[in-house]
Amino acid sequence: MTTRVPSHVWDVVIVGLGPAGRALAHRSTALGLSVASVDPLPRRPWKATYAAWEDELPDWLPRRTIASSVARPTAWTTRRHTIDRTYCVLDTSALRSLLMKDSGTVVSGRAVNLSPTCVRLADGSILNARAVVDARGTGDSHGLAQQTAYGIVVQPDVAAQALCGENAVFMDWRRDNGTLPSAPPSFLYGVPLGPDAYLLEETCLVGRPPIPIPELTSRLLRRLRERRVIVPPHSDVERVRFAVEPPHSPGSSRASDPLRFGARAGLMHPGTGFSVATSLRYADVLAHQLRDGRSDGLWPWRARTVAALRSLGLRVLLNLDAEQVPEFFEHFFDLPIRLQAAYLSDRANPRGTAAAMRRMFSASSNEIRGVILSSALRPRNSMN
């Protein structure tokens, strides 16, 4: 519920009520902590589509929060691939309802100043806490690499035509979206939202700057026309734009900074834009630390090493020529599934992440190897 601000000291004050903030409030309250959460629009519904690999989800998350699951989805690069993992789309309404239950006090307001133990709101109210956590996400911060997408919601028979009979397509890099080989590439993402609906989405994986949403709209419609798909009038649409990099370096903070969590803390994978499953899983970790008066477990050296390797992976993606992108992902989906999972899902496995990257380097053409090497030697702040 939303309430006025009491004057006592909370165990935890969380700023931002997206999935990461809600999850941390829910898990912290389950441990008996007193929690206050702040958001300008706390009743705002979640309109984005959240998805995850099934093995990424925490044990405490009930099955009813999963809207659909697909075993062994497909990817298209220069050829067809089958991914030997189960992919899930979350029921955002059910997930939000679950996380809102038993999650402490909610304050409707805009935070204008945060310290490690205090939050000041725009109306002058002040919340004091043993720990303040900033979970406000990344937004579409200027200068950071971003992901953009435009999607439509269709019925299963329409999706079957668009996806060429596949149950789900994780990535389809084929150029039947009307673009020239030299144009910045985008891919088709097609997944079931439940038994009666599919999302078909044209996606710019990462860009600095990203492909504008109007261009992605045109590409999606051209792709569907090419596949003889008639888009139903008045279809629901989804527009996506967010930074895939955190506004601060992962694992770095000053003594005057509050704790950060979720995408704002660097829990988003910079090469995919996925962060919700990681935030759900690590909400328990941070909640236990807050209960015990600690806050040092989100970024052990293994996690910092993986973050640095993933940052290199992002630089490679940004530096690849348009025609190199499908080949690059061909080599990725040719990796053993354990190495794919290590790179995509395990933020504390530097050995597995490095092994995946070494295999990719060995399999790549000399041109792509050159991009990888130049990206490794080129600091981020020198990139356009």
Beta strands 169-172 and 74-76 are parallel
User: Under 8 Å CB-to-CB from 249, ≥6 apart: which residues?
Assistant: 266
pLDDT at 143: 83
Q: Is the pLDDT of residue 383 over 50?
A: no
pLDDT at 384: 40
Q: Is the pLDDT of residue 2 over 50?
A: no
Helix 366-377 × helix 301-319 angle, to 10°: 130
Residue 132 and residue 163 in one domain = no
Residue 314 and residue 377 in one domain = yes
- Greater model confidence, 377 or 14: 14
Helices (H), the chain: 19-30, 92-100, 156-162, 213-226, 276-291, 301-319, 325-333, 337-345, 350-363, 366-377
Q: Is the pLDDT of residue 178 over 80?
A: yes
SS3 (DSSP) at 313: helix
Residue 174 lies in a domain: yes
Contact 91, 63 (CB under 8 A): no
Residue 228 and residue 158 in one domain = yes
Torsions phi, psi for 137 (to 5 deg) = 75, -170
Q: Is the pLDDT of residue 124 over 60?
A: yes
Residue 214 and residue 225 in one domain = yes
Token pair in block for residue 135? 């979970």
Model confidence band, residue 149 (pLDDT cutoffs 50, 70, 90): very high
Q: Tens digits of per-residue pLDDT, 292-321?
A: 988 777 899 999 999 999 999 999 999 999
Residue 186 and residue 211 in one domain = yes
pLDDT above 70: percentage of residues in the chain: 94
Question: What residue numbers bound the domain in which 118 lies?
Answer: 9-45+92-137+246-291
133: domain CATH number is 3.50.50.60
229: domain CATH number is 3.30.70
Q: Tens digits of per-residue pLDDT, 250-297?
A: 666 666 789 999 999 999 999 999 999 999 999 999 999 999 988 777
Question: What's the number of domains the chain is made of?
Answer: 3
pLDDT mean over 333-352: 97
- Average pLDDT of the chain? 93
Q: Tens digits of per-residue pLDDT, 89-110?
A: 999 999 999 999 989 999 999 9
Q: Is the pLDDT of residue 155 over 60?
A: yes
CA-to-CA dists, residue 348 to 55, 151, 161, 176, 252, angstroms: 15, 33, 40, 38, 17
Give the angle 127-130-134 at the CA atoms, nearest 5°. 65
SS3 (DSSP) at 307: helix
Residue 13 and residue 124 in one domain = yes
Beta-bridge partners for 87: 53, 70
Q: Is the pLDDT of residue 10 over 50?
A: yes
User: Under 8 Å CB-to-CB from 195, ≥6 apart: which residues?
Assistant: 68, 156
Residue 255 and residue 239 in one domain = no
pTM of the model: 0.92
Q: Tens digits of per-residue pLDDT, 211-233?
A: 999 999 999 999 999 999 998 88
Give the angle 365-303-53 at the CA atoms, nearest 5°. 70
Residue 258 and residue 359 in one domain = no
User: Under 8 Å CB-to-CB from 51, ≥6 apart: which residues?
Assistant: 87, 88, 89, 90, 191, 274, 276
